[in-house]
Structure 1
Amino acid sequence: MRTFHLSWIAFFLCFFGWFAHAPLMNSTIGPDMGLSHAQKITAFIASVGITIIARLVIGNLCDKIGPRKSYTYLLAFGAIVVAGSSLAYNWETYLISRMAIGVIGASFVITQYHTTKMFAPNVVGIANATTAGWGNLGGGVTQAMMPLIASGMLAIGFAESELSKWRPAMVVPAVIMLVVAYLYWKYTEDTPQGNYDSNPSIKPVSQPGESGLFMSAVKDRRVWILFAIYGACFGLELFVNGRAATYYQTKFSLNETTAGIIAALFGLMNLFARSMGGWLGDKFSTTGGLSGRVKWLVMVLFAEGLALILFSRMDMLGLAIGTMIVFSLFVQMAEGATFSVVPFINKKSLGAVAGIVGAGGNVGAVIYAQFLLRSGATLENSFMYFGIAVVAISLLGLGIKFSAADEQAARDEQKKLEEFEKQLANRELKAA
């Protein structure tokens, strides 16, 4: 449970730092740096796009050195680049700083890897979904908190002007990241059996004649279906986190603080929605096996697409907020449902599978941002087009199949866990 809590806290901070620039872009960072509309979108694309590579690398790294070291190093790096972004002085240096910050988006892969290693198959869905969901809150909370932190920096004299107040504000998440990096190193282990360094027998390795851990994941078409599916749910969450505040400012003429608070509601659904998606995935598996997890994923992703289409058509503020929350519920449940399936695809190559699927989310976000930049479509019409795409992608999930042997192994493991729980309950009853 130490790992459970530290992993979501670490993920929360990484997402907070990753999206810390978004709510300040139009009002302070853009004018301070003299950024054009195209440069603002390009900075977002760079920050999200670099995470594609980072997630592939970090997933492989988890298989090699373990999640404990991987997270500690990533948090320390994140602290440096988030604080360092305050030193940007022109477009080029700002773009480089946003690309460097994008690397910490790979934190998601470590979180999912670590909780999968720590929890049993009958609860791994809700464990993965909850750590990811509570971590994703960072992307929503930063929408509301960073404007307040920046204003606070100006009020206490750390900023020279209204436009430069964002610079000292970036130090706040950086300092907290360093604290959590120390806690992660000191209080977590790679697995319940210990660390990879002290117990090499628990480290995943490919057997003679098998493809390498990464290549075995690459060759599995189910991994690429989940890659597309995660682009359709988490990719949209990334895109909306980066554009929601701007959407409400431009369409409904709201100020920075009000738009940021409304945009934060989208991320706040992570308190329970992603956990619900993983929990229901676990429940569907008790009667439907591994294919039950897949059916639930298809259903919730289909509903997500319909909800996004509905949100895109709302012209009244109250209805827009309400339908955004409904969309948020489905998008985050779909994310939880996705990673209730991932642990069962290829257990030996868990890091590689998680890295590839996780990268799919960032690929989706880049595609959405590129469409917005190059198509000339309005943001609300883009949302409608993306909703239609999600409905289509949801049907790809029907192509995720498991062998009879995999299904049987999952049922056998479920029975063992149920027997263990009964034995444990009997011991507690006798002790009482």
Structure 2
Amino acid sequence: MINIQAQKATKLSLFNLKNVSIRTFWITAISFFMCFFSWFGIVPFMPDVVKDLGLTPDQKWNSIILAVSGTVFARLLIGKLCDKYGPRMCYTFLLMLGAIPVILCGLVQTPTQFLVCRLFIGFIGASFVITQVHTSLMFAPNIVGTANATSAGWGNLGGGANRLGMPIIAAAVVGFGVAEAEAWRYSMVIAGTICFVMGLVYYFFTQDTPQGNLKELRAQGVEIHKKKDEVPFIKVLKDYRIWILFLVYAASFGIELTVYGTMDDYLQNTFQLKRVTAGNIVLSFALMNIFARTLGGFFGDKFGKLKGLRGRVLFLSFILCVQGVMLITFSTTTSIIFGFVFLILFSLSVQMAEGATFSVVPFINKKAIGAVSGIVGAGGNVGAFLAALFLKSKSAIAEKTAISLNNGLSDEVVKAAQSAASSGAVSQGYFVIGFIVLITGFVALAIKFSKEEDTINDASQNTNKNLAESLQPVQIKS
């Protein structure tokens, strides 16, 4: 049966699991968490992988770049597929197929096999797009920014939780008699298996929209978008606002990924912290996703209520500028206390910027939410790819120069010079990136909405609110 009266949720009532929108919110957030957990699951084991497979420094860097690169193409494709087949089937297949390279990563025997697996594991990063599409279809305009930001933020926790979770899984495996050197392999197999199981959960316990699945609705003659209203993909690509948001997400999520991936070494080289201490600081940086993204979406919704769609853009521009200033300031500090303070402020602002971005995305083109989400989401990985290449090149040149200038001296002197050179290069890189983020914040102001779009948005909010308060769901047998 389908419920043609069912409406998008107007509140994020987290414990109302009987509501299909809330149930879908939880399942999509948990699925996204597991995708991120598996995507970066190998990171805590990289020293073991390097030793076991004999990876060179270049192969290690290439594995990081490949994992990010694969996601770009997957995100561009998955958005359009969501519009056509619905988020439920897309997530089901992504989880079940994406589990394969995760499991195979634990079985590799050569560096080439490892690099190939890392490339294909990156495809599960497209889960972010489906998460945003599904919550956009389930929640009303007044709360969609908060719902999008919260589901994405809690999913992103997987990228930090694996620093604790994967070693725990490895320790449990060792407890069953597996050799410690092989524990990383079993951990990846277990993570991949959980992803596969989540694919089954997604298929049986979610639906595309509050009214039902797209396939069932179409069989009943109900269309979310009529054929005449369908938007050609080429028309979506011509909307300049999408490409501004592409840049915005590159400057927010892309930079978060890059900073997250380089901060361990930077803290050790700059402030002489121990690896464990630096790792815990970076972990706390990632765990701020529990609330920081949600704040971005929440304030996006609030500004949208006060000043319409333009209000959402104004807040996005503001928080991006704050992010840029925080990174610039952090890059220049030499005090661990001030460094920690500005790192936390950067973490808060960058994650709020991500949430604010996807409080704007659902309003760019409501007839092609999947395509828009896919393009914007891909921007994050393009930003991470370019920023990683930039920092890698600066650091590599500086380190080689330091080694050359100190050639013939003791290993300790060479290592210290190399560490200082890397710190200086990355610091300069953060400074430049911070200014780019600041400029992007001003560019975001170029996003405009027509009076018609603002009127439709206002009417949509009022309609959903009134229906939610006055209508009781009517069950119609199919």
TM-score normalised to structure 1 length: 0.92
Cα deviation, residue 250, structure 1: 4.5
SS state at 1:241 partner = helix
Letter of the structure 1 residue corresponding to residue 279 of structure 2: G
Q: Which residue of 1 aligns with 2:199?
A: 181
Give ranges in structure 1 of 5+ residues lacking alignment: 425-432
Bigger shift: residues 82-91 or 115-124: 82-91
Q: Which residue of 2 aligns with 1:288?
A: 307
Task: State whether residues 71 and 378 of structure 2, in contact with CA within 8 Å, keep that contact through their aligned partners in structure 1.
Answer: yes
- In 1, Cα distance between equivalents of 2:254 and 2:307: 28
Spell out the pairing of 1:182-201 with structure 2 (5 A cutoff): 182-200=200-218, 201=222
Cα deviation, residue 423, structure 1: 4.9
- Alignment match of 1:265 (pick from 269, 275, 284): 284
Q: Which residue of 2 aligns with 1:345?
A: 364
Deviations 1:194-219 (A, max 9, x none): 101111133546528x751x222101
Spell out the pairing of 1:205-244 with structure 2 (5 A cutoff): 206-207=227-228, 212=232, 214-244=233-263
Identity of aligned residues (%): 47
Q: Which residue of 2 aligns with 1:3?
A: 24
Bigger shift: residues 98-107 or 68-77: 68-77
Letter of the structure 2 residue corresponding to residue 278 of structure 1: G
Spell out the pairing of 1:20-419 with structure 2 (5 A cutoff): 20-25=41-46, 27-161=47-181, 164-200=182-218, 201-204=222-225, 206-207=227-228, 212=232, 214-254=233-273, 256-375=275-394, 376=397, 378-419=425-466
- In 2, Cα distance between equivalents of 1:124 and 1:363: 25
SS state at 1:202 partner = coil
Deviations 1:219-251 (A, max 9, x none): 100000000000000101222333333434444
- In 1, Cα distance between equivalents of 2:177 and 2:313: 54
Letter of the structure 2 residue corresponding to residue 397 of structure 1: A
Change (3 A) 1:191 1:83: same
Letter of the structure 1 residue corresponding to residue 43 of structure 2: A
Cα deviation, residue 416, structure 1: 2.9
Give ranges in structure 2 of 5+ residues lacking alignment: 1-21, 399-424, 472-478
Cα deviation, residue 41, structure 1: 1.8
TM-score normalised to structure 2 length: 0.83
- In 1, Cα distance between equivalents of 2:128 and 2:26: 14
Letter of the structure 2 residue corresponding to residue 124 of structure 1: V
Letter of the structure 1 residue corresponding to residue 434 of structure 2: G
Letter of the structure 1 residue corresponding to residue 217 of structure 2: N
SS state at 1:193 partner = coil
Q: Which residue of 2 aligns with 1:429?
A: none
Bigger shift: residues 244-253 or 215-224: 244-253
Letter of the structure 1 residue corresponding to residue 211 of structure 2: Q
Letter of the structure 1 residue corresponding to residue 108 of structure 2: A
- In 1, Cα distance between equivalents of 2:339 and 2:273: 13
Task: State whether residues 144 and 261 of structure 1, in contact with CA within 8 Å, keep that contact through their aligned partners in structure 2.
Answer: no
Task: State whether residues 154 and 289 of structure 2, in contact with CA within 8 Å, keep that contact through their aligned partners in structure 1.
Answer: yes
Q: Which residue of 1 aligns with 2:8?
A: none
Residues paired across the two proteins, number: 420
Change (3 A) 1:166 1:322: farther
Deviations 1:353-372 (A, max 9, x none): 00000000000000011112
SS state at 2:72 partner = helix
1:14 and 2:14 are equivalent in the alignment: no
SS state at 2:361 partner = helix
Task: State whether residues 133 and 272 of structure 1, in contact with CA within 8 Å, keep that contact through their aligned partners in structure 2.
Answer: yes
Bigger shift: residues 172-181 or 41-50: 172-181
Cα deviation, residue 293, structure 1: 0.3
Deviations 1:168-196 (A, max 9, x none): 22123222212221211111000011101
Letter of the structure 1 residue corresponding to residue 291 of structure 2: F
Task: State whether residues 231 and 367 of structure 2, in contact with CA within 8 Å, keep that contact through their aligned partners in structure 1.
Answer: no
Deviations 1:46-70 (A, max 9, x none): 1101111000111111111111111
Deviations 1:67-100 (A, max 9, x none): 1111111111222211211122222111101001
Cα deviation, residue 292, structure 1: 0.4
Change (3 A) 1:351 1:183: same
- In 1, Cα distance between equivalents of 2:59 and 2:183: 20
Which structure has the larger Rg? Answer: 2
